[in-house]
Amino acid sequence: MSRLSELPEKVVELIRSATVLEFATLSAAQTPIDTPVLYFPTEDLSSIDLATGLAYPAKAERARRNPKVGLLIEGRGPGAPTVSIAGMAAVRDADIQANALRYIAETASGGAVIVPWSVARQAVWYWSRIIVAVKPVRVMWWTDQSQMDRPPEVWRAPDGTSFPASDPSPPGKVSAGPEWPQPPWPELAATAMASGMPAHLTLVDDEGFPLPFRVEDIARTEEGFAFRAPSGAPWKRGGKATLSFEGRATFVGVASGEGRTMKLAVERTLPILPMVVDLQELWTPGEDTRARLMGRLKQELERRGQPIPEIPQEMPAPTAGAQRRTAYRAAQAGNPAG
């Protein structure tokens, strides 16, 4: 059993039972980039696992190059905890068929599929997954979100803890990504601000881990954004950063400020995958989107010497973790305040 089980019960329950976390990696230029993803911890909590599509592998490639990553898991409602994890990532892509089957069993039965399985199973570009297993180096938590201006409680992995390495990088260069839409930042900022979506700022801490945290009271400025950040976040208070609105609009720039008052001078936006904005594009994409996804999927499979995964006719049975997450979501839906 992982020593994470020694954490407070509310914290352990959140780690085991939540569905989505913020996943931050570092680019080659040392820019921290955050994306919300579905996740599925191992039963013994020895690693917090997540996945990205083989047809859009940038997150995994960043983690393979620099295994220092950051995770943020947020509870819902007053009195719920917030958990920040700095961990070492191990990329698993030696068996994409096995990854696909695991990902389906961990996520599909729990509400990730909004269309009949007969339709969803055809989205092989979605189910073909690179799994990233994150072993925690440090866990920080606030037992109540309203207390995040205070220093967190902290757990660290024992001295001498070993961290698994990634699977070997496949031969050849990573395939080039399609030219997805990348609107000018003022245009995208107007859309993001009007949406009311929550936003997360990601900066690097003194130990080199990219850590995302939610920011509030966001306002547009001539150069980018101003906002209030939790003063308990253990960041450097300036440097390269990204501000992500649920992964649907991500702004790259330089953050600055002290305490709770911060700002981001925007330099550019990240490209927007069509299926992030419109779930219809995920399950039944247009001809152009599908051709781009399948083209890149085939290139990445060829690099690995692997065939296109076979997606089963019947949805696999959910894992114990998937059942736990489904029950947790149902309980949360029945008690929105908690």
pLDDT digits (tens, 9 = 90+) for 261-301: 999 999 999 998 887 877 777 788 889 999 999 999 999 99
Buried b (16+ CB within 10 A) or exposed e, 15-27: bbbbbebbbbbbb
Q: Quick check: 73 and 281 in contact, CB under 8 A?
A: no
pLDDT surpassing 90 at residue 151: yes
pLDDT of residue 2: 63
Report the predicted TM-score, pTM, of the whole model to 2 decimal places. Answer: 0.95
pLDDT digits (tens, 9 = 90+) for 220-244: 999 999 999 999 998 888 999 999 9
pLDDT of residue 337: 46
pLDDT digits (tens, 9 = 90+) for 157-184: 999 999 999 999 999 999 998 888 888 9
Q: Take residue 10 and report the two structure tokens written for it.
A: 């509310």
Could you list the beta-strand ranges (E) of the chain. Answer: 20-26, 32-41, 48-53, 68-74, 82-92, 129-142, 153-156, 199-204, 210-220, 224-228, 239-245, 249-258, 261-269
For the chain, the farthest-separated pair of C-alpha atoms sits apart, in whole angstroms, at: 55
- Cα–Cα separations (whole angstroms), residue 58 to 23, 53, 102, 188, 250: 12, 9, 21, 22, 15
CB contact set of 168 (below 8 Å; sequence gap of 6+): 94
Domains along the chain with CATH numbers: 3-275 (2.30.110.10)
CB contact set of 320 (below 8 Å; sequence gap of 6+): 43
pLDDT digits (tens, 9 = 90+) for 108-147: 876 678 889 999 999 999 999 999 999 999 999 999 988 9
Q: Is 312 helix (H, G, I), strand (E, B) or coil?
A: coil
